[in-house]
Amino acid sequence: MVIGASLCSFEGNKKEVYKDASAPVKERVEDLLKRMTLEEKVGQMNQFVGIEHIKTNSAVMTADELKNNTANAFYPGFTYKDVEKWTEQGVIGSFLHVLTLKEANYLQSLAMKSRLQIPILFGIDAIHGNANAPDNTVYPTNINLACSFDTLMAYKIARQTAKEMRAMNMHWTFNPNVEVARDARWGRVGETYGEDPYLVSLMGVQSVKGYQGNLNSDADVLACIKHFVGGSEPINGTNGSPADLSERTLREVFFPPFEAGVKAGAMSLMTAHNELNGIPCHSNEWLIEDVLRGEWKFPGFVVSDWMDIEHIHDLHATAENIKEAFYQSIMAGMDMHMHGIHWNEMVVELVKEGRIPESRIDESVRRILDIKFRLGLFEHPYADESKTMKIRLSAEHRQTALEAARSGIVLLKNEGVLPLNASKYKRILVTGINADDENILGDWSAPEKPENVTTILEGLKMIAPDTQFDFVDQGWDPRNMNPAKVTEAADRAKFADLNIVVAGEYMMRFRWTDRTDGEDTDRSDIDLVGLQNELIEKVAASGKPTILILVNGRPLGVQWAAEHLPAIVEAWAPGMYGGQAVAEILYGKVNPSAKLAITIPHSVGQLQMIYNHKPSQYFHPYAAGKPSTPLYPFGYGLSYTTYKYEDLKLDRKEISKDGKVEASVKVTNTGTRDGVEIVQLYIHDKYSSATRPVKELKDFARVSLKTGESKNISFIITPDKLAFYDKKMQKIVEPGEFTIMVGSSSDDKDLLKEEFAVK
C-alpha cells in the first residue's frame, strides 16, 4: 500500500488566501479546501501514533498482541520511515502519543515539506495536567477535583494545562471526561467527575473554558468532551462492554454533561467504545447527527476512540469488513479516525466508488482545518525549545497542584485521633503499597523525576521532621505482596505509638499489565487487592491507633477498616504534591473540606449504588449481608471543625411554572478551627407523571467560615432545576409540590427540608 500515490499538483499562480493570516478563517478554510486533492482531504481525517511510540512498541510487541491493546501500537508491515514519508506527503492530519517537544517539532517539520504545508494537530491524553508526558505539572485526578466541588479550580487547572501543552507543541487534550460514573467496578471512574450529572456538567464546562480560552492564541488548546455515551455504566462493569440504557436515562443522566459541554464551546467530541442499545456509538447516526449536531447544534468535529471504527467490524460485527466499518462511521457523522494505515486508501476508494460523496468528506475537513487555523498553527507550527521549561512545572503551576490536592482529599472517618499531635505520637509506623510510591500521580501519568513528586512518606517527614517514622516497604504491587513483609509490619507496629497504612490500587501506566485500576483495568469486586486487608488487620491488632489512607481511582469497599479503625482518609490520586497535602491534613496544617463526588458502597453486591436512585430501588431491602445504605454517601466528608445548619427558608411557598424561588440557610462554624464547608442543595419532585429520583443535586456553594462565624447562604431555584421529561418525553415543569433539601451531604439525616408548590 502506498498512501498518497495519486497526489496531483495544482497551479500556483492563484493567490493563496489560506496563507494570509489576516483573512477570515472561513475564507482560508474554503481556499485551502479547493486546493486539496481527495487523498489530502482524507489524510486530514486520519491520526497516527508517533514515530517514537512506533519504534518502542514494534520492538517488543507482536501483531497478535495489538488486537486487545488500547495503549500501545505500531503498524505491522510498515515502519516509522513510512509514517515520516506520509507526513511529508501531507496525508496525515494528526498524531497522538507524541510525548516530547523534540518529536512534535520534528514531525511538524516533515509536514512543512508537504505540498500545501498543512500543520499537524497533536493530541494527547492530558487528563489532569499534561501528565502523560514527562516533566509537566501533575495535578490531582478528576475525581479529586470533583470532590473539592471547586469549579474555579477546574478552570484554573485546565488553563495551566493548556499553557504547558502549547509549550510542548501539543494542541488538543482528550479531556474533559464528562461521563457519569455509576459502576465502581469500572476502571475509569478516577478520570471522571463522579456520579452526579449536575456536578459533572459544571466541572466539564469550566474545564472546556479553561482549555480553550478564546481558541485563538498560543495559550489555548482544543478540548474534547468524551466518551459519547454510556460507557460509564457498562453491563458487566468492564470498559467497552455494551450499554443498554433507555432514552429517559440517557436524557436525564448521561446527556446533560455533553450538552453543557457543547454549549460551553467544546469543539471536539469523542465517541464511546461501547455499543448503545445494540448500535455501536461509532456508527450511531442518532447520537452524532440527530442529537449532537441536530438538537445541540455542535459545530466541532467528532473523533473516534482508539481503533473503535475497526471494532464495528471485528468486535461488534455490524460491518462485514473494515472498509464497510469506515463507510458506516463516516456516514453516521465521524470526522477523524484514531488511528491507523488502512483508512486513507479505503476511504478514497469509497469516494471514488460513489458510496461516500466527496462533499461529505469536505464537511469533516472543514471542521478540522477550522481548528488548525484558529489555533494559529499555520503561522506558528513549532514551539520554542529554549522557552518550554519556563512554562512547564512553573512555581505557579506547582502551587496550584498542591492547593488542588489539599481541597480534594476526603476525610471519611475520624474518632478523635486526627489531627495528629506530634508530641504525642513520636514513633510512627508507615507501611502499605502506596506509602512511598509515585502511584499517587494516578492513571494517565508518566514516571516523573523523584524531585518532582512528594510521596506520602516524604510528606510525613517534611511536615513532622522530629517524628521517627519507621517504614516497612510492602512493594508497589498489591497482587504480589510478600507475607513476610506483612508479618514484619505487624511486629514493628507493636513498638510504634501510631500506625499509618497507605493502601489502595496500582495505576501507573508504564506497568500496564500490572495495574489494578485505570483504563481497561476493571474489577469483579471492589475489595482491596492482595494481602492489603490482612496487613491492615494485623497492624491494627497491635492495639495502637491505626490510620488508613487510600490511594485509588474507584470507590473501595473497605468495610473492616470502616468498622474497626479510628480514622480513614480517601486521598484518591492526589498528584505530584499529594504526599505533602496528605501529611498536612493528618497533622492539621490543613483542615479537610472535600466531599465525596461518588457513593462508596460496602461491597460489589450493592451495585448499582447511587444517591439519586428512584423511590422503588430499595423498596425491598437485602435479605442477608450488607444493608441497602452505602458505606459512605455522596456529598459526605468530615472536617476538623463542626457546622450547624438552621433556618432554612423559602422566599415564597408558591410559584408559576416560569417563576423562581430563593432558598436561604444559616450555616455556622461551631467548632474550634476555621474551615470551608460545601453546602449542598437537593430537590425532589414529590408527585410526577414519570418517576423521579429521591433527590437530585441542583446547586452547591463552597463557604469559608472562621470559628464562630455564621453566614446566610442563598440559592435561586429556577425552572430548569425543576424540569424533567414527562411520559411523552417532553421536557416540562409540571405543577405540584417540591421538596427542597439543604445540608452537608446527600444523607437524609444531614439535610434540612422545606416545601413549595408550582401552580
Do 352 and 436 reside in the same domain of the chain?
no
Do 479 and 352 reside in the same domain of the chain?
no
Instruction: Please tell me the total count of domains within the chain.
Output: 3
Residue 616: Cβ within 10 Å count: 9
Select from 560, 593, 626 the last residue of a domain. Answer: 593
Do 251 and 371 reside in the same domain of the chain?
yes
Select from 390, 423, 451 the last residue of a domain. Answer: 390
pLDDT attached to residue 710: 98
Helix axes of 51-58 and 80-89: crossing angle, nearest 10 degrees? 160
Look at residues 574, 593, 256 and name the one whose alpha carbon lies nearest to residue 410: 593
Q: Which pLDDT band holds residue 63 (cuts at 50, 70, 90)?
A: confident
In tens, the pLDDT along 205-258 reads 999 999 999 999 999 999 999 999 999 999 999 999 999 999 999 999 999 999
CA distances, 448 to each of 171, 621, 626 (Å): 22, 48, 41
Do 83 and 175 reside in the same domain of the chain?
yes
Are β-strands 172-173 and 225-228 bridged in parallel, bridged antiparallel, or unpaired? Answer: unpaired
Do 343 and 418 reside in the same domain of the chain?
no
Does residue 504 sit within a domain? yes
Q: How many angstroms separate the CA atoms of 15 and 24, rounded?
A: 15
Does residue 269 sit within a domain? yes
Cβ burial of 670 (10 Å; 0-12, 13-18, 19+) is middle
Indicate the helix (H) or strand (E) that contains 124.
Answer: strand 121-124
Three-state SS for 626? coil
In tens, the pLDDT along 458-515 reads 999 999 999 999 999 999 999 999 999 999 999 999 999 999 999 999 999 999 999 9
Grid cell 514493628 is found at 492
Q: How many angstroms separate the CA atoms of 224 and 207, rounded?
A: 10
Helix axes of 358-374 and 342-352: crossing angle, nearest 10 degrees? 130
Q: Which pLDDT band holds residue 328 (cuts at 50, 70, 90)?
A: very high
Does residue 402 sit within a domain? no
Question: Please, what is the end-to-end C-alpha distance for the chain in angstroms?
Answer: 69
Look at residues 614, 688, 672 and name the one whose alpha carbon lies nearest to residue 639: 672
pLDDT attached to residue 473: 98
Q: How many angstroms separate the CA atoms of 33 and 118, rounded?
A: 11
Mean pLDDT of 638-646: 98
pTM attached to this predicted model: 0.97
CA distances, 513 to each of 481, 508, 631 (Å): 16, 10, 30
Mean pLDDT of 109-121: 98
In tens, the pLDDT along 343-394 reads 999 999 999 999 999 999 999 999 999 999 999 999 999 999 999 999 999 9
Does residue 541 sit within a domain? yes
pLDDT attached to residue 46: 98
In tens, the pLDDT along 565-619 reads 999 999 999 999 999 999 999 999 999 999 999 999 999 999 999 999 999 999 9
Q: Which pLDDT band holds residue 68 (cuts at 50, 70, 90)?
A: confident
Does residue 297 sit within a domain? yes
Does residue 614 sit within a domain? no
Q: Which pLDDT band holds residue 64 (cuts at 50, 70, 90)?
A: confident
pLDDT attached to residue 61: 84
Q: Which pLDDT band holds residue 437 (cuts at 50, 70, 90)?
A: very high
Do 224 and 268 touch, CB atoms closer than 8 A?
Answer: yes
Do 270 and 379 reside in the same domain of the chain?
yes
Do 424 and 365 reside in the same domain of the chain?
no
- Is the confidence at residue 11, as pLDDT, over 60? no
Supply the CATH number for residue 539's domain.
3.40.50.1700
- Is the confidence at residue 2, as pLDDT, over 60? no
Q: Which residues of 423-455 are buried (b: 16+ CB within 10 A; e: fewer)?
A: eebeebbbbbbbbbbbbbbbbbbbebeeebbbb
Are β-strands 710-717 and 661-669 bridged in parallel, bridged antiparallel, or unpaired? Answer: antiparallel
In tens, the pLDDT along 504-553 reads 999 999 999 999 999 999 999 999 999 999 999 999 999 999 999 999 99
Mean of per-residue pLDDT scores for the chain: 96
Look at residues 87, 93, 50, 92 and name the one whose alpha carbon lies nearest to residue 72: 50
pLDDT attached to residue 15: 87
Q: How many angstroms separate the CA atoms of 676 and 442, rounded?
A: 26
Look at residues 175, 190, 274 and name the one whose alpha carbon lies nearest to residue 233: 274
Do 385 and 436 reside in the same domain of the chain?
no
Q: Which pLDDT band holds residue 318 (cuts at 50, 70, 90)?
A: very high
Does residue 26 sit within a domain? yes
Q: Which pLDDT band holds residue 70 (cuts at 50, 70, 90)?
A: confident
Supply the CATH number for residue 691's domain.
2.60.40.10
Three-state SS for 567? strand
Do 416 and 355 reside in the same domain of the chain?
no
Q: How many angstroms separate the CA atoms of 251 and 729, rounded?
A: 9
Mean pLDDT of 312-319: 98
Q: How many angstroms separate the CA atoms of 175 and 631, rounded?
A: 30
Residue 113: Cβ within 10 Å count: 11
Residue 373: Cβ within 10 Å count: 22
**Polymer length of the chain:** 759
Q: Which pLDDT band holds residue 60 (cuts at 50, 70, 90)?
A: confident
Do 197 and 334 reside in the same domain of the chain?
yes
Does residue 578 sit within a domain? yes
Select from 568, 593, 618 the last residue of a domain. Answer: 593
| Extended beta strands in 474-618, E state | 498-504, 546-551, 567-570
Do 371 and 451 reside in the same domain of the chain?
no
Three-state SS for 710? strand
In tens, the pLDDT along 391-430 reads 999 999 999 999 999 999 999 999 999 999 999 999 999 9
Look at residues 691, 541, 533 and name the one whose alpha carbon lies nearest to residue 603: 533
In tens, the pLDDT along 679-688 reads 999 999 999 9
Q: Which pLDDT band holds residue 107 (cuts at 50, 70, 90)?
A: very high
C-alpha cell at 225: 468532551
Do 571 and 697 reside in the same domain of the chain?
no
Q: Print the domain residue range for 698.
A: 643-758
- Is the confidence at residue 13, as pLDDT, over 50? no
Cβ burial of 289 (10 Å; 0-12, 13-18, 19+) is middle
Supply the CATH number for residue 324's domain.
3.20.20.300
